[in-house]
Amino acid sequence: MIKTSTALFTCALAVLSSSVWASTEVQGTITRIDPGVHQITLDGTSYAVARGVNLAGLAVGDTVSLNVEPRRGEKPLVSKLAKIG
């Protein structure tokens, strides 16, 4: 009984924390920045940017690295952004 409970707890924990595993790193060149709606476009693909991520100091043509988390039915969410070079 204890082994079964431990296994179920471990599986539930893995499912709940799966969003951390789902984030990916994307690199590309900025083709558009829209600070009004907190959105950035890299090489033609648009991403929503989390409110805590600073877009100041970025410009079209900059190469950046994004930590992106997928969201069902919505644009992927950028949780971290860094300028490359």
- Domain presence at residue 36: yes
Residue 5 belongs to a domain? no
User: Total structural domains in the chain?
Assistant: 1
Residue 12 lies in a domain: no
Tens-place pLDDT, residues 1-56: 565 555 555 555 444 444 445 789 999 999 999 989 999 999 999 999 999 999 98
Q: What does the block give as tokens for 33?
A: 């920045």
Outline where DSSP puts E strands in 1-83.
24-34, 39-42, 45-49, 63-71, 74-83
Q: What is the mean pLDDT of residues 72-85?
A: 89
Q: 44-74, pLDDT tens digit by residue?
A: 999 999 999 999 889 999 999 999 998 888 8
Asked if the structure places residue 17 within a domain, the reply is no
Q: Per the domain annotation, does 53 fall within a domain?
A: yes
CATH number at residue 53: 2.40.50.320
pLDDT at position 58 is 93
Q: Is residue 76 in a domain?
A: yes
What per-residue confidence (pLDDT) applies to 13? 47
CA distance linking residue 27 with residue 64, whole number of Å: 6
Q: Can you give the pTM of this predicted structure?
A: 0.69
Domain of 34 in residue numbering reads as 23-83
